[in-house]
Amino acid sequence: MSKIVVIWDIMIDKYTFWKVKRLNPEAPVPLINVEKEEERLWWAANVAANVASLNWNVDLIWLVWNDDWFEKLKKLCKENKISLYGIPLLPFTIVKQRFIESTYHQQLLRIDYEDIEKTWRNSEEIWRKIIKNLKQINPEIIIVSDYNKGTLTETSIKLLLEKFWDRKILVDTKPKNTTYFKGVYILKPNFKEFCQIIGQEIENENYQIEKYWKDLVKQLNIEYLVVTRWEKWASLIWRDWTTIHTPTQAKQVFDVTGAGDTFIATLWWAIAEGYDIVEAVKLANKASWIVVGKVGTAIIKKEELFENKNHSQSRK
């Protein structure tokens, strides 16, 4: 079994489910009655959770902090069968709390517990520790899930690519960091990020995508570019300019939170399982549109992905 490692920004997603039963006697505002609360993994940790849910061994490496939330992070990783390699050097654990109305699953507000100015910055000592962990695990596949929280620099990526140039690396990063990842196996922006990368506000149409992405593939020297496109979902281009667009079935969308994480995880899982790139994108596409029908950050299960389907014939 190929080893898959997920690295970069991790956080906890906290959900507070509530109902309004009466007005607040202290002020003319609704009184929220909390029914339940739960924590879930998000960002790179959610990618890892999706890989693990597809019955594949996965390791998660990144910076953490020894606070109360870190204990919950370790517990969630254990419950999701993720091997966590935490390096305790962050100033805090990032938490995002969502208040969700219980009946109709509508989000009232979100509270972010983070301070981007205090987020760790690059140092050679820290990167030696990260590279050491990667060498010990010796993965065949590396997923980089970057949410631009100040922990990524050109120097750090250069070191990563130099040490693991012979591994398959899939990157989901923010537009400002895209040029750091020259030569990777797959780059996966969403449509908005793609527009920011090319510096053009284009329509979400196939011909517009095809007009601009060849130069990007050539500039970055990547093997594949995958652009996720919301309701039109995914487009794929090879280094030789072969292009496909994979539509999806329309469905009711409850929450798009984490859908991109599910896409990345399923894409790499399918590649590790031996599916060709086209079928891998199709499976990732299907997985994403399953989880958007769920509430909040959600993971895909293998039985959901293959319900009434047999994809075995599509493997290499």
**Residue 141 host element (H or E):** strand 141-145
Can you tell me the distance from the alpha carbon of 50 to that of 42, in angstroms, rounded to the nearest whole number?
10
Q: Collapsing DSSP states into helix, strand and coil, what is residue 266?
A: helix
Q: What are phi and psi of 267, to 5 degrees?
A: -60, -50
Q: For strands 243-246 and 234-238, give the pairing.
A: antiparallel
Active site residues: 261
- Cβ-count burial of 27 within 10 angstroms (0-12 exposed, 13-18 middle, 19+ buried)? exposed
- Cβ-count burial of 233 within 10 angstroms (0-12 exposed, 13-18 middle, 19+ buried)? buried
**Residue 60 host element (H or E):** strand 58-64
